[in-house]
Amino acid sequence: MQRLLKQRCLEQRTQRDAAQRTRVRRIVTRRAGVHCEVDGRWLLNFCSNDYLGLSQHPALLAALHTATSSGGIASHLVCGQAAEHAALEHALADWQQLPRALLFGSGYVANLAVLQALLGQGDVCVQDKLNHASLIDGARLAGCAFKRYPHNDVAAAVRQLATCTEGARLLATDGVFSMDGDVAPLHALATAARQHDALLYVDEAHAAGVLGEAGRGSAAAAGLGADDAPLRLITFGKALGSVGAAVVGDADLIEHLLQTARGGIYTTAMPPAQAAATQAAVALVQGAEGEALRQRLHENIAQFRAGAAQLGLPLLPSSTAIQPLLIGDDAEALARARALEAQGYWVTAIRPPTVPDGSARLRITLSALHTQQQIAGLLDALAPA
Ligand SMILES: *Cc1c(COP(=O)(O)O)cnc(C)c1O
């Protein structure tokens, strides 16, 4: 075996262990809504992104079973585009009130694909420092100039947009930040983008299904139209309870992505069954049931925040389902997560490099399926001794 590589892996492992940053994958053997059997013991789940509880909804499960194929059989451009894929793309465009949608295997791949297809040398990509790793990796892969501004600092974003005089400008932001839960100042960012002739790209991963009218997302909630936010990422693995992603927006940009985005071309299409399940979720979030679930979720968020404030817990300024408790120290965050688990609550400690150094946290996420009693129980468990 290659000696240097092996040695490097071992060294990094030792460092990771010493810093309490080694991650483990817990095995979930059974799941029923917010109840999870983890390594043989039932826990209440407060760390999933299944904000509306759709991942086990009968409508999605029924759609999965309509499948005639467990595989995508080829790339979309070869012979992989099934009727289910086409129907889902139309349903997504209708829902988002945007001209066109294009499917990708995952949100991670979609972000790489979009930035690589649209940007290159001489262009600039301006991003919030707390953007998701996929946006950061995408800008690096694109080979463009890459500028990051302090979290939600619109004035800094404007300064960075102004540095590019020749090429194309793209301003990318999470709509809801995945580890902090706050919402980007989208109205101000859209104004900045317009003034500097930049394309605003909004990653709706944690907003789709939960924010805005009909759950259209953060851009819609901020009142942005097709001209203000011409390209948006919708991921299916969070509130939509499925897996996969789509980029939705301007028809010419989408056609360019279809023709050139490597992350969409050189990969197998998602299973048609997955597309059918996702389409069921898209229908659900727009209907009365989706509205009722969002209402329940917002009641749960309000209950949790009020209770946490009363206990003096270090909440971040988030109004979404993502309610992190800042701890700081990695080992301390791990110990807090273990203590919660001992009381039957599953909350993951999020440590660097997923979050900046010194900002380890308990990332508590709420779901429409949590009951008042379960949230009250979690608050009791979080109460300082
Ligand atoms: C989860 C997430 C992604 C990646 O989506 P996947 O479909 O899970 O690959 C992209 N952006 C943000 C902000 C996310 O939270």
What is the tens place of the pLDDT at every residue in 25-83?
999 999 999 999 999 999 999 999 999 999 999 999 999 998 778 888 999 999 999 99
The reply to whether 84 and 196 lie within a common domain is yes
The reply to whether 90 and 237 lie within a common domain is yes
178 is a catalytic site residue: yes
Domain span including residue 152 = 69-286
Residue 41: the pLDDT is 96
Query: Is 13 inside any structural domain?
Result: no
Other Cβ atoms less than 10 A from the Cβ of 246: the count is 29
The reply to whether 149 and 298 lie within a common domain is no
Query: Is 4 inside any structural domain?
Result: no
**Residue type at position 44:** L
Q: How far apart are CA 367 and CA 46, in angstroms?
A: 8
Which of 255, 286, 317 terminates a domain? The answer is: 286
**Residue 146 near residue 201 (C-beta atoms within 8 A):** no
The reply to whether 166 and 305 lie within a common domain is no
Query: Helices (H), strands (E): how many in the chain?
Result: 14, 14
Residue 141: the pLDDT is 97
The reply to whether 246 and 294 lie within a common domain is no
Ligand 1 atom closest to the CA of 175, numbered from 1: 13
Ligand 1 atom closest to the CA of 243, numbered from 1: 7
Q: What is the residue with the minimal CA distance to atom 14 of ligand 1?
A: 205
* Regions of the chain with pLDDT less than 50: none
Residues with CB under 6 A from ligand 1: 106-108, 111, 132, 134, 174, 178, 203, 205-206, 235, 237, 245
Q: What is the residue with the minimal CA distance to atom 6 of ligand 1?
A: 107
The reply to whether 77 and 127 lie within a common domain is yes
The reply to whether 78 and 198 lie within a common domain is yes
Q: How far apart are CA 360 and CA 328, in angstroms?
A: 5
pTM value?
0.97
The reply to whether 227 and 331 lie within a common domain is no
The reply to whether 267 and 372 lie within a common domain is no
The reply to whether 265 and 164 lie within a common domain is yes
Distance 7 CA to ligand 1 centre (A): 32
Which of 227, 261, 286 terminates a domain? The answer is: 286
The domain that holds 314 is classified in CATH as: 3.90.1150.10
Residue 68: the pLDDT is 77
Query: Is 353 inside any structural domain?
Result: yes
Residue 70: the pLDDT is 81
Q: How far apart are CA 213 and CA 66, in angstroms?
A: 30
